Structure 1
Amino acid sequence: MRKQGLSTYWKCQLFGWGAASLYWAFKGLTGEGFMLSLAVCFFITDMLCYIGITHIYRAIARHAGWNQLGAQQLLWRLIPAVIIMGVVFMVVTIAKLYLLKYWLVPSFHPPFREYAAMAAEPTFIAGVRLMAIWLLAYHLYHYSQREIRIATEKAKLELITSEMQLQQLTGQLQPHFLFNSLNLVKSMVRNEPEQARRAIDLLASLLRSSLYEKDMALIPFSEEMEIVGDYLELQQLRWGEILRITHHLAADTEEIKIPRWSIQTLVENAVKHGIMQQQDGGVIRIHAARQEPFLMVTVTNTGAWKPATGTGIGLQNLRDRLALHYHGDAALEIHTDELNVSATIKIPLHAKI
């Protein structure tokens, strides 16, 4: 069984009061009438008495739940606590000093009442100062630990919430994409059986990616392009030569992690709302390159931009996923001219996800 060492509390108690006791012993060493036996007794009794006083306070504070109080509530308890502990410190210290000196110093025999009256004020002030320092250190430590714990729990909750939102968004996107693909295959089964068989193979590959790898929220860019390739081949089986595809993908982009189905969403949107709306079809161009500090991926299609038909589930879903993954550092931008529509994703290369 693994042995547990001293807790942080006891380490601080021993170190703090040990350092203070050694300081007082050193002051005695540099003064007049130093006695080693008296110094050792002072050191031992200082450690026992003052650790005892503060430990009793700790037990009371923990039982009363003071470590869970707000600053203002705690302050009204600390003020009387400091005064009471200062009084206890004064009584214990005067009694301890008097008895040890009385027993160990032959020439020390003043009346206790006179000795106590002379030492009371400076000892009380010293006690209040020391106890105030101890109480502040003790409660500041617990306050900082509580804030760290709250911040950690909040971060965990935000992470869990984000993961749940991402799962919901992915679950929303998958049926949308798959139903469209199934409808496409259905349209080819009767008149184009050979192409339908190839389409089923491609759809099986897409289903495998959807169902068996759905827990991978981020994938290498090269794997995303494999999904895009399957999807575009599936579309070309239906639309033939009216759907033309070109791409320029920089080699140093292959291993960059991006959200699954992010480029596929842009390509699907380009096919559905761009190429399919053109009588003579058109071209889809995919361009990817590093432009520090981003990976820039642009999907351009022939056609006109129609916000009413282009802001449905796909693009909004993608915007939401980018926001959740990259905390506002990623972007989806759409540009248009007379002949083409371009959608560009900016992925931070050095994002903390």
Structure 2
Amino acid sequence: MSKRRVYWVCQIFGWTSLILVEYLAYLFQEGFDPNALYLAIANIGLGISLTHLYRLMIRRLNWVRLPFLQLAPRVLLSVFVLALIMTAVNLPIDRLIVPTYFVDEPWIVMGYIMTWGKTMLAWVLSYTVYHYVERTRDAEIEQILLKTSIRDTEAKVLRSQLNPHFMFNALNSIRALVYENPTKAQQGITQLSNLLRNSLLADRRKTVELREEIKTVEDYLSLEKVRYEERLQSHIELDPRTLFWQVPPMMLQTLVENAIKHGVSKAVSGGFVDVTSQLDNEKLHLVIRNTGVLGDKEASGGFGLANTTQRLELLYGPDARFSIGQEDDNIVRADIIIPIQSDTIFRRREAVQKGV
């Protein structure tokens, strides 16, 4: 049932029940009087009309957005006006129908206003509080949606980063190979196009399978080896159970890029980059080890480290962790822990069934 239909059902049922109780009380005391019946029917219509006008007014004036100290006096004034109108209609007619009730009653007008005021106050408070609470809830939902939208936008920006300096160096390396080793140059162009495609697709996907991310890392390392040759050694060892685990796209590539840029490239005789994965208590544990000295994290990691931390927090919350430190004098180690997700479980079971 729609809110509008619920509102009208409550209006008609509520006012009819209230006036009917008063009319039955009069009927038991005074007997049947057609004028009293007509007045009861008129009061039902008048009560519905007045309270509906109040509803239209507060919606038009948007009172539910007001602070409580501004809303309260407006509500009390509305109750008084509504009670005054009901009194103005009922009092003259009641003087004609039941004149005996008005004998020796000096405060009869005030009594009518108080009686109708209680009724109107109950209705107005119920309606106003309902909409005040609903408006507060809608505002909270809007804030949640806004925060979600901001987080999604931030995640898209963070996912789509690809170092332009790497692109420049990779193109120069491929250009040098065009005449020396055309086959290897073609292979390099294919690997570079794969990296570009994955970078462009990164803002459309929140996560990818680890095996897909590793292919991106392998393409990146192959291109860098063209530049560094024997000065760069790499090794990737993955637990087969982790291949279908969902990870942020381009995350490992960014960390490997930082490892080469701030570690291997600065070592006189070059160095290595190792990537391993394993399962630990139903959590994915990724380790990137490389030659280098960490020093200042901001200077050593730059945007990549902050990128990784933010992305993991946006996607997985506090259960995901990223840390980087010096394993020994000349080796830097980065650890990533990603909790399991339902889609990861499904993919793992599917892979087992297929014998992958």
TM-score, normalized by length of structure 1?
A: 0.77
AA aligned to 1:47 is I
Q: 1:310 aligns with which of 288, 300, 321?
A: 300
How much does 1:98 deviate?
A: 6.2
How far apart in 2 are the matches of 1:275 and 1:48?
Answer: 85
Structure 1 residues 166-212: Cα deviation after superposition (integer angstroms, max 9, x where no partner): 44445553535433432443454454443222212211221222235
Q: Do the aligned partners of residues 251 and 277 (structure 1) sit closer, same or farther apart at CA in structure 2, a change above 3 Å counting?
A: same
Unaligned runs of 5+ in 1: 103-108
Higher mean C-alpha deviation, range 61-70 or range 71-80: 61-70
In the superposition, relative to structure 1, how do residues 326 and 26 fare at CA in structure 2: closer, same or farther (>3 Å)? farther
Residue type at the aligned position of 1:335 = G
Q: Distance in 1 between matches of 2:307 and 2:21?
A: 67
Q: What's 2:189 paired with? A: 200
1:342 aligns with 2:333: yes
Map 1:32-111 onto structure 2 (within 5 A).
44-94=41-91, 102=97, 110-111=99-100
Letter matched to residue 239 of structure 2: A
Alignment deviations for residues 259-287 of structure 1 (CA, whole Å, 9 cap, x no partner): 21111111122223333334454443323
Cα distance in structure 1, aligned partners of 2:11 and 2:281? 52
The whole-number CA distance in structure 1 between the counterparts of 2:24 and 2:224 is: 88
String of CA shifts for 1:297-321, please: whole Å, max 9, x gaps.
2211233323365222332333343
Q: Secondary structure at the match of 1:203?
A: helix
Tell me, yes or no, if the aligned pair for 2:156 and 2:202 is still in contact at 8 Å: no
**For 1:207, what is the secondary structure of its paired residue?**
helix
Q: For residues 125 and 165 of structure 2, what CA distance do their matches in structure 1 show?
A: 59
Out of 308, 319, 328, the residue aligned to residue 309 of structure 2 is 319
Give the partner amino acid of 2:185: A
Tell me how far apart the structure 2 counterparts of residues 43 and 290 of structure 1 sit (CA, whole Å).
76
Cα gap change, 1:38 to 1:282, in 2 (>3 Å) = farther
Q: Measure, in 1, the Cα distance between the counterparts of 2:37 and 2:244.
A: 68
Q: Which residue of 2 aligns with 1:105?
A: none
Distance 1:7 1:320 in 2: 47
Specify which of 103, 112, 117 is matched with residue 128 of structure 1: 117
Change (3 A) 1:277 1:54: same
Post-superposition CA distance 1:319-347 (Å, at most 9, x none): 34344445665432102122421112233
| CA shift in 2, pair 1:5/1:322, >3 Å | closer
Moved more, 89-98 or 66-75: 89-98
TM superposition score normalised by structure 2: 0.76
For 1:20, the equivalent position in structure 2 comes to: 18
Which structure 2 residue ranges, 5 or more long, are not aligned? 343-356
For the structure 1 residues 88 and 254, does the alpha-carbon distance in structure 2 shift closer, same or farther, using more than 3 Å as the test?
farther
> In the alignment, which residue of structure 2 is the partner of 1:139?
128
**d(CA) in 2 for partners of 1:177 and 1:11?**
68
CA pair 271-62 structure 1, distance change in 2 beyond 3 A: closer
After TM superposition, give the deviation of residue 348 of structure 1 in Å: 4.2
CA drift at 1:130: 1.9
- Matched residue SS, 1:271: helix
43 and 246 in structure 1: CA distance in 2 versus 1, 3 angstrom threshold: farther
| Preserved CA contact (<8 Å) 1:184 1:238 | yes
What's the Cα RMSD here?
A: 3.8
- One-letter amino acid matched to 1:338: D
SS at match of 2:329: coil
Q: 1:130 to 1:201 in 2, by over 3 A?
A: same
1:117-266 alignment runs, 5 A limit: 123-173=112-162, 175-212=164-201, 214-240=203-229, 242-266=231-255
Q: Does 1:332 align with 2:322?
A: yes
Secondary structure of the corresponding residue to residue 162 of structure 2:
helix
Percent of aligned pairs with the same amino acid: 30
Query: Match of 1:173, SS?
Result: coil
Distance in 2, Cα, partners of 1:241 & 1:23: 97
SS for the counterpart of 2:208 is: strand
- For residues 70 and 163 of structure 2, the distance between their equivalents in structure 1, rounded to whole angstroms, comes to 53
Query: Residues 49 and 92 of structure 1 are in contact (CA less than 8 Å); yes or no, is this contact kept in structure 2?
Result: no
Structure-2 change in CA distance of 1:305 and 1:114 (3 Å): same
2:3 and 2:140 map into 1 onto residues whose CA distance is 28
In structure 2, the CA distance between the partners of 1:169 and 1:243, relative to structure 1 (3 Å rule), is same
Deviation at 1:77, TM superposition (A): 1.6
Structure 2 counterpart of 1:340, which letter? I
